[in-house]
Structure 1
Amino acid sequence: MAEIRQHRDDLLAAMGSATLQSNSSAWLAQLISADALLVLSGAVLTSYVGITGLIRRMSFDRCLPIFLSFTNRWRETNHFIIIGFFLVTSLLHFIVRGNLESLAGVYTMSFLSVMSLFAVGNMILKYKRSTLPRKIYASWPHVVLGFLLVFVGLIGEIILNLAHIKFFILYFGITFLIVMLMFSRNRVLKLLIYFGGPRRWQEMLNQQYKRIEDRPMLFFTRTDDPSVLNKAILYVRENELTNFLKICHVYENENQIPAMLETNVKFLDKQYPKLCIDLLLIKGQFDPPTVKRLSEQLDIPTNFMFITCPAG
């Protein structure tokens, strides 16, 4: 054990040297070190690819500032995300003063937390969207067992390395605060506008506030059931930062248009005066090309479009 602790930073290379036990054994240690360098380089590249996709998706969904999704003209890469991720990870390295155990502890806590969230998300989908069709089905006992095993591992890691949790909480807290501010940015803007300031500052805040609330949502419906339409409206009011909702029905023949759809939309529009509700009747097939065409013509991103939960 003492020898393992002595070579904990280059254990595989030390094992290679100890295995051959000859004057020429250095080549195996060097080969293992070079292989480890290539593997870790691939892991670093994978982390940049993964974080770029994640942050870009979150910025499109307005969970993070939209400027993070901007691309440069030369390479069309998300430079803000790449540079920001490098600065954040480098800052963590300086905070822990290059201590590999602390870095490994923070990574382990983050990994196990993400794994537990997969199980939590699965359970929420089972409860809220049980009719959602899927190819792979995991039973409740399997999901709960998986969650408990990962959670026990997370608690064990925290207990064994209690000093490392402060770094995890620091980064998690900052990220959580930014996301919560993005979800409540209309209220923050209202507060800033209320306290006033220079005229130019006020105009910029008002323009930003109006830009956020003028971005419409689009709901695809195949029924004129007022309860279904009302649920869509309530979802937008409670979860989205917009004052505009477009209800869209795609049909192939005019006789397929629900008879009471227009009447019910007009009625609901009067019931929610703070929300502007429009009805769109589109002739065609409800398929990805139609959705893409509507997104381009209406200037509504596809992630701002939604439907009811498909039946299993």
Structure 2
Amino acid sequence: MVSGKDETPFELPNVQRSPRKRVRTRSTMSQSIDSPSDPEGPWIAIEPPTRPPYSPQDPSAPQDPAASPVNPPSFADAQFDIVLRRQRTRPREGGGMKLTTIPSRFLNLSNAFEFAGWGTVSTIFLTRNDILYGEEVLQKSRRSKVLGQFTASALAGNDVLGSVFYTLPAIVAVSGVYSPISLMIAALMLFLWRPIMEELGSALPISGAPYTYLLNVTSKSLALIGAAILLLDFSSTAVVSAATAASYLAGEVTLPFPAFVGAILVLVIFTAVSLSGMKDSARVAFAVLSLHVITLLVVWIASAVSWGRNGSQLLKDNWAAGQASSSASLVHQVFNGICIGMLGLTGFECTPAYIASIKSGRYPLVLRNLHICAIFLSSVTMVFLLAIVPLDTIRSDANVLSDLAEKAAGKWLRVWTVIDAIVVLCGGVLTGIMSACELIERLAHDRVLPKSFLKTMPGTGSPYVAVLAFVAFSGALYASAGASLVIVSKMFSLVWLSTMTLFPLTVLLLKFNRGRLPREPKTTLSVILVTLAICGAVFGGNVAIDPTTLGYFAAYLVAIVSLFYATQNKGRFVRLMYWAYDQNVVLHTWSWTRDWAERLTGVMARMRRQPVCVLCKTDEINHLFQMVLYVRQNEETSNLKLVHFYDDEDGIPSEMEANWKMSSQSSMRHFPR
């Protein structure tokens, strides 16, 4: 409504809705709804009621309506039905006066430097060739799922089954003859994790999990903490496997070099294997796992035959020698054994990291295969140990599986077992490397790490930059621990438990924040809460067994989280450096500092030009505002592209364009960069 200069009553025009503009994308982070350059800008309105402003029975109503002023309807008459909004746009080619109440925070830069622009509206029509190209990309993505249930099981299975070599000595030290009970309980608890992991994999079949899970259900800051824990877990997996393989070999033969050199050699060898590509690496892992399964079956058969020949007297003697002094002591030993025995399940957390490469419908089968192996592997092997090997030997020797093989069948089986131990532990190195590469690639796509990590080798398609960077990081981790397997193993215990805690925590956030996301199966809330309670209890138990583990874990975690935070918020650090230069007048007198400031300005401008796309299904302004606000808080950009797909113009929500402008303008005014 427009007021006349002679202060006559308002006149409400009979406004009609103009033809709607085609809307496909809106590229902006700061929009304008100020005075128009086109005075005949489109109207978005609901036509006012046709009832006359005066009642026909009103004696004060003028007899000639054409000659009389028309008063606007009262608020009661409007009844919230009259919505009048004049949408005034800037020219599509840009330009126009900048009207803003927010000046630049930099004294020597104009307001225009921090102004993102008025934004544009454009329509893109997809041709038949565009649609065919999109279908081709989708088919290519489906063909990238190269792992079946057995090859996918092999990648993580080498870690799950290989953990027997470093778990059994550790659990005997705290649980004694009750180790089989502790191991069985620890393995059975995975029945709580399997439906949780299946639900997450069904809802979000994306590589790099659980980082990608957290990224889709909560803030990016929390997701980066999950990524730090996950990267530390993968690195610990590779280092512990390589160092255990070297120490296992050093316990059998005299090496011409220290054990840590052997661990480095293992890392180097399997770096070369990883560069051959995902599919070939999975085949190598499957061959390694097959050898390990055959070896265990031979050891079990030989142990059963030896047990049958010699009887159960040694088992009775070991049981009598390791009896707890009281019921409380028994419960304490079993609980400590469960805390340590959970490490025998390492490898499960690696499976979701490469879920995008697993064929459709195979992921639950992969978890099932790994769980069945975990249930019987450690507990059955531990029973054979107590029945054939004296308890003192079990407690004093780290290569207990080799002792079992020699007692059961002789020297030849011991040699075979040592070779198998080295090979399968090396397979654990491969598991850590391949899982970490998926995570690193995802972090590079999300601009947490540089784009150079996405470079691949011609022919194999292996991300060689990611592989080499991860192996270098693992080597640095091993070196910072003084090449001590004990220190890395202590830290590994809490890292693995923290990683497993991320799964129930993520599915809880999924249910709360994105509960309508299609998925199957759906875990009950009681199962999630029980799983979280178990995670807390086992975590506390490991800290109580050795409090120094918490110090190692915290030190490495803080270092990685700080690195990720710095890379994610590098734009803020650049602005801080320029602000320090801008405030110091003395620095402006030197030519080299001025050149340095110009480079910083260029870096800030490049970061702000990085596009971020958001798909919009609705024109609800609160929904649009939340999306824009999320980008402002989590991304270093001022180039936001809001995208809406439609079949015809009737499918475009009526308030889409206007609400886009208001939501983006509000975010700029309240949350400036």
User: Same fold by TM (over 0.5)?
Assistant: yes
**1:1-312 superposed matches below 5 A:** 1-8=391-398, 10-20=399-409, 25-71=410-456, 76-196=461-581, 198-273=593-668
Q: Per the alignment, do residues 205 and 66 of structure 1 end up closer, same or farther by CA in structure 2, a change over 3 Å counting?
A: farther
Q: Is the 8 A contact 1:64 1:178 kept in 2?
A: no
Q: Per the alignment, do residues 36 and 147 of structure 1 end up closer, same or farther by CA in structure 2, a change over 3 Å counting?
A: same
- Please state how far the C-alpha of 1:59 moved relative to its aligned partner: 2.0
* RMSD after superposition: 2.4
- Please state how far the C-alpha of 1:63 moved relative to its aligned partner: 2.7
Give me the TM-score of the superposition, normalised by structure 1. Answer: 0.78
Alpha-carbon distance between aligned partners in 2 of 1:72 and 1:253, rounded to the nearest angstrom: 43
- Please state how far the C-alpha of 1:47 moved relative to its aligned partner: 0.7
Q: What is the DSSP-based 3-state SS (H/G/I as helix, E as strand, rest coil) of the residue aligned with 2:654?
A: coil
Q: Quote the sequence identity (%).
A: 24
Alpha-carbon distance between aligned partners in 1 of 2:483 and 2:667, rounded to the nearest angstrom: 56
1:84-125 CA distances to partner (integer Å, 9 max, x unpaired)? 322332233333344333222222211111001111111122
Q: Is the 8 A contact 1:105 1:157 kept in 2?
A: no
**Which amino acid in 1 is paired with 2:432?**
S
- Please state how far the C-alpha of 1:73 moved relative to its aligned partner: 5.9
Give me the TM-score of the superposition, normalised by structure 2. Answer: 0.38
- Please state how far the C-alpha of 1:261 moved relative to its aligned partner: 1.9
Matched residues, number: 270
Alpha-carbon distance between aligned partners in 2 of 1:104 and 1:129, rounded to the nearest angstrom: 37
1:29-84 CA distances to partner (integer Å, 9 max, x unpaired)? 11111111221121111110000110111122123344433445686543333223
Alpha-carbon distance between aligned partners in 2 of 1:124 and 1:99, rounded to the nearest angstrom: 38
Q: What is the DSSP-based 3-state SS (H/G/I as helix, E as strand, rest coil) of the residue aligned with 1:14?
A: helix
Alpha-carbon distance between aligned partners in 2 of 1:132 and 1:74, rounded to the nearest angstrom: 38
- Please state how far the C-alpha of 1:223 moved relative to its aligned partner: 2.3
Alpha-carbon distance between aligned partners in 2 of 1:219 and 1:95, rounded to the nearest angstrom: 42
**Which amino acid in 2 is paired with 1:176?**
V
Q: What is the DSSP-based 3-state SS (H/G/I as helix, E as strand, rest coil) of the residue aligned with 1:251?
A: coil
Q: Is the 8 A contact 2:448 2:567 kept in 1?
A: yes
Q: Is the 8 A contact 1:158 1:165 kept in 2?
A: yes
User: Structure 1 residue runs of 4+, over 6 Å off?
Assistant: none
**Which amino acid in 2 is paired with 1:187?**
R
- Please state how far the C-alpha of 1:174 moved relative to its aligned partner: 0.9
Q: What is the DSSP-based 3-state SS (H/G/I as helix, E as strand, rest coil) of the residue aligned with 1:133?
A: coil
Residue segments in structure 1 that go unaligned for 5+ positions in a row: 276-312
Alpha-carbon distance between aligned partners in 2 of 1:13 and 1:51, rounded to the nearest angstrom: 31
Q: What is the DSSP-based 3-state SS (H/G/I as helix, E as strand, rest coil) of the residue aligned with 1:126?
A: helix
Greater CA radius of gyration, 1 or 2? 2
Q: Per the alignment, do residues 273 and 159 of structure 1 end up closer, same or farther by CA in structure 2, a change over 3 Å counting?
A: closer
Alpha-carbon distance between aligned partners in 1 of 2:669 and 2:439, rounded to the nearest angstrom: 33
Q: What is the DSSP-based 3-state SS (H/G/I as helix, E as strand, rest coil) of the residue aligned with 1:247?
A: strand
Q: Is the 8 A contact 1:243 1:274 kept in 2?
A: no
Q: What is the DSSP-based 3-state SS (H/G/I as helix, E as strand, rest coil) of the residue aligned with 1:138?
A: coil
1:162-188 CA distances to partner (integer Å, 9 max, x unpaired)? 223332222211111011222322211
- Please state how far the C-alpha of 1:12 moved relative to its aligned partner: 0.5
Alpha-carbon distance between aligned partners in 2 of 1:265 and 1:149, rounded to the nearest angstrom: 46
Q: Per the alignment, do residues 68 and 158 of structure 1 end up closer, same or farther by CA in structure 2, a change over 3 Å counting?
A: farther
Alpha-carbon distance between aligned partners in 2 of 1:166 and 1:84, rounded to the nearest angstrom: 25
- Please state how far the C-alpha of 1:273 moved relative to its aligned partner: 4.9
Q: Which has the higher contact order (CA 8 A, sep 6+)?
A: 2
**Which amino acid in 2 is paired with 1:6?**
S
Q: What is the DSSP-based 3-state SS (H/G/I as helix, E as strand, rest coil) of the residue aligned with 1:217?
A: strand
1:124-162 CA distances to partner (integer Å, 9 max, x unpaired)? 222222222211211111011111112211221122122
